[in-house]
């Protein structure tokens, strides 16, 4: 069996230091609870000396989250260490994380200390920390640009002073995997008994590669963040490390205790708190991480997901693979999307619709559910259709919408107020349909340039325990949202009543 490495999550500390990612104590507690469920081993909750808010955050997380270790950061200074110790007082399993730079450039220009003075300060700091908290970690800031002999001396001395975990951060994201692995391998041999930890930044895009190389070389703790958020280009991304160890663990020789099916929901919760979504092509949790557009890929995926997927969307908590219909889509993808919408066609008809999908995609890039149903051309194929709507909003009025839909040939309408025009429109649609669906996700993006851009809306809903998604596009965002929503409802219904709808459209 492979050794299990410690996942040290620093989303709430290093991650929170990224621009636009600051969090309130309540938000930190909510995320910490999710990170605990996810199965991280240590949660670094903050840097207490930085502000009163940080003290409150660390204290709140320490008091609420009992199942994992809670860490707090401190510089090698008495007030920092005392503040961290105090904030951690209520923790079930506290870890005091103290750091001091060791590289020549940091000692000379930032700290204005000689190497001897820094060594002494580090040892004294660890002794003080150890008198407050039984588990202490030392980080040699800018370790990868530190003279090896001196780094080893400082780590050995802090280990002897009581630090049980020695962190070797690539603070400035300068190292390359082979160099970092060599450094970690040497330290594992030269400072026996200590847990060697790694902490990599992504300035050259190799933070995860460096972390994995270090694990292979004997590191037993990895510091990382959800969505890879962190200073500058970010930290090593937790979800990528976890999935690399899950998919390639036998090669790397290590495993984690993280429940990978909670990765996508955790990533989404963090994005909800910070308002920053990972880039669409981000590994594991990006919106397109499991999207296939090329027709040859779509055909393979539909026949057997293993053809183009090294891990399943479900294994990271993503419910379905998104097949985007575009000019590269083949007949299998078109047929599959139509089937999800409740439409069954003969092979010849599918062939004809696919040719028209390609033509349309040449003109407008993507083909949405509504376009697809228009291409099929039979109005009875469309079980739910938006007939018309109006939405009214402004700064001194209650946002109100009236929506008229056609359901199986019958027209229904309803009005509703909401906390915005989109909310009002979706509530009116619910009232007209006599349904109350849970909206899980709604994303809008501009698919063309300029102020008159075409808006694309993707929604995900839950109905009777089953989830479905829909897409819509229009120059009017509210119309695009309604189309996407109705399309998700139609998909949910089709999944529910597959046999009867199949008979109707056969």
Residues at the site binding Zn ion, with contacts judged by CB under 5 A: 14
| Nearest CB to Zn ion, comparing residues 14 and 423 | 14
Among 473, 475, 476, smallest CA distance to 459 is for 473
Q: Minimal distance in Å, beta carbon 222 to Zn ion?
A: 13
Instruction: Give the nearest residue (CB) to Zn ion.
Output: 14
Quote the CA–CA distance of 456 and 4 in Å, as a whole number. 43
Q: Minimal distance in Å, beta carbon 17 to Zn ion?
A: 8
CB 360 within 8 A of CB 352: no
| Nearest CB to Zn ion, comparing residues 199 and 331 | 199
Distances (CA, A) of 449 to 275, 370, 446, 466: 23, 21, 7, 35
CB 71 within 8 A of CB 62: no
Can you name the residues that pair with 392 across neighbouring β-strands? 400
Q: Minimal distance in Å, beta carbon 197 to Zn ion?
A: 12
Q: Minimal distance in Å, beta carbon 145 to Zn ion?
A: 14
- Residue 412 is encoded by which pair of tokens? 């229904």
Can you name the residues that pair with 69 across neighbouring β-strands? 42
Quote the CA–CA distance of 429 and 439 in Å, as a whole number. 12
- Beta carbons within 8 Å of 317's beta carbon, 6+ residues apart: 260, 261, 262, 263, 264, 265
Q: Minimal distance in Å, beta carbon 481 to Zn ion?
A: 39
- Residue 179 is encoded by which pair of tokens? 């160099």
Q: Minimal distance in Å, beta carbon 14 to Zn ion?
A: 4
Count of C-beta atoms within a 10 Å radius of residue 384: 24
- Beta carbons within 8 Å of 109's beta carbon, 6+ residues apart: none
| Nearest CB to Zn ion, comparing residues 14 and 54 | 14
| Nearest CB to Zn ion, comparing residues 14 and 479 | 14
| Nearest CB to Zn ion, comparing residues 14 and 293 | 14
Quote the CA–CA distance of 247 and 245 in Å, as a whole number. 6
Q: Minimal distance in Å, beta carbon 108 to Zn ion?
A: 21
| Nearest CB to Zn ion, comparing residues 241 and 478 | 241
**Full DSSP string of 252-281:** HT-B----GGGHHHHHHHHHHHHS-PPPTT
CB 75 within 8 A of CB 98: yes
370, containing H or E segment: helix 369-376
Q: Minimal distance in Å, beta carbon 402 to Zn ion?
A: 52
Name the phi and psi angles at 346, rounded to 5.
-75, 160
Name the phi and psi angles at 193, rounded to 5.
100, -25
Among 110, 35, 19, 117, smallest CA distance to 71 is for 35
Q: Minimal distance in Å, beta carbon 173 to Zn ion?
A: 9
| Nearest CB to Zn ion, comparing residues 225 and 393 | 225
Q: Minimal distance in Å, beta carbon 201 to Zn ion?
A: 6
Among 246, 185, 238, 177, smallest CA distance to 212 is for 177
Q: Minimal distance in Å, beta carbon 319 to Zn ion?
A: 33
CB 201 within 8 A of CB 168: no
| Nearest CB to Zn ion, comparing residues 236 and 405 | 236
Q: Minimal distance in Å, beta carbon 13 to Zn ion?
A: 8
| Nearest CB to Zn ion, comparing residues 50 and 435 | 50
| Nearest CB to Zn ion, comparing residues 14 and 41 | 14
Can you name the residues that pair with 416 across neighbouring β-strands? 401
| Nearest CB to Zn ion, comparing residues 172 and 386 | 172
Quote the CA–CA distance of 353 and 90 in Å, as a whole number. 64
Judged by DSSP in three states, 7 sits in strand
| Nearest CB to Zn ion, comparing residues 202 and 336 | 202
């Amino acid at each position: 069996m492979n050794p299990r490495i410690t996942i040290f999550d620093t989303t709430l500390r290093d991650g929170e230091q990224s621009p636009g990612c600051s969090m309130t104590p309540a938000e930190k507690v909510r995320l910490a609870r999710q990170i605990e469920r996810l199965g991280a081993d240590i949660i670094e909750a903050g840097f207490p000396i930085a502000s009163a808010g940080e003290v409150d955050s660390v204290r709140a997380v320490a008091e609420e989250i009992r199942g994992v270790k809670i860490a707090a950061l401190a510089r090698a200074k008495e007030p920092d260490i005392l503040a961290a110790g105090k904030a951690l007082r209520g923790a079930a399993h506290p870890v005091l994380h103290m750091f001091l730079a060791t590289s020549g450039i940091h000692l000379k220009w930032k700290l204005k200390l000689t190497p001897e003075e820094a060594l002494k300060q580090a040892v004294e700091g660890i002794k003080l920390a150890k008198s407050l908290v039984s588990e202490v970690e030392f980080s040699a800031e800018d370790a990868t640009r530190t003279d090896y002999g001196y780094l080893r001396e400082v780590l050995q001395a802090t280990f002897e002073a009581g630090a049980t975990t020695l962190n070797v951060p690539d603070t400035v994201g300068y190292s390359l995997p082979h160099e970092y692995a060599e450094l970690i391998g040497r330290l594992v041999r030269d400072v026996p008994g200590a847990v060697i930890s790694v902490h990599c930044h992504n300035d050259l895009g190799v933070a995860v590669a460096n972390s994995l190389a270090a694990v292979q070389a004997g590191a037993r703790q990895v510091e990382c963040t959800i969505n890879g958020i962190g200073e500058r280009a970010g930290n090593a991304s937790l979800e990528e490390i976890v999935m690399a160890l899950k998919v390639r663990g036998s090669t790397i020789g290590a495993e984690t205790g993280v429940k990978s099916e909670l990765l996508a929901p955790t990533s989404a919760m963090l994005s909800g708190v910070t308002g920053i979504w990972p880039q669409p092509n981000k590994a594991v949790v990006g919106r397109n991480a499991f999207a296939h557009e090329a027709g040859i890929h779509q055909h393979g995926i539909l026949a057997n997901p293993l053809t183009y997927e090294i891990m399943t969307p479900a294994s990271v908590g993503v419910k379905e693979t998104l097949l985007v219909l575009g000019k590269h889509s083949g007949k299998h993808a078109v047929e599959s999307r139509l089937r999800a919408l409740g439409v069954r066609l003969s092979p010849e008809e599918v062939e004809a619709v696919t040719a028209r999908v390609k033509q349309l995609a040449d003109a407008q890039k993507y083909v949405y559910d509504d376009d697809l149903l228009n291409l099929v051309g039979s109005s009875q194929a469309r079980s739910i259709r938006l007939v018309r709507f109006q939405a009214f909003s402004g700064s001194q009025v209650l946002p109100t919408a009236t929506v008229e839909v056609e359901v199986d040939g019958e027209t229904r309408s309803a009005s509703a107020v909401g906390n915005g025009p989109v909310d009002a429109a979706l509530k009116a649609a619910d009232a007209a349909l006599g349904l109350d669906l849970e909206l899980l996700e709604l994303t809008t993006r501009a698919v063309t340039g300029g102020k008159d851009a075409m808006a694309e809306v993707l929604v995900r809903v839950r109905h009777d325990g089953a989830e479905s998604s829909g897409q819509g596009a229009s120059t009017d965002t509210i119309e695009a949202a309604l189309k996407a929503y109705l399309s998700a409802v139609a998909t949910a219904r089709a999944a529910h009543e597959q046999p009867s709808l199949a008979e109707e459209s056969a």
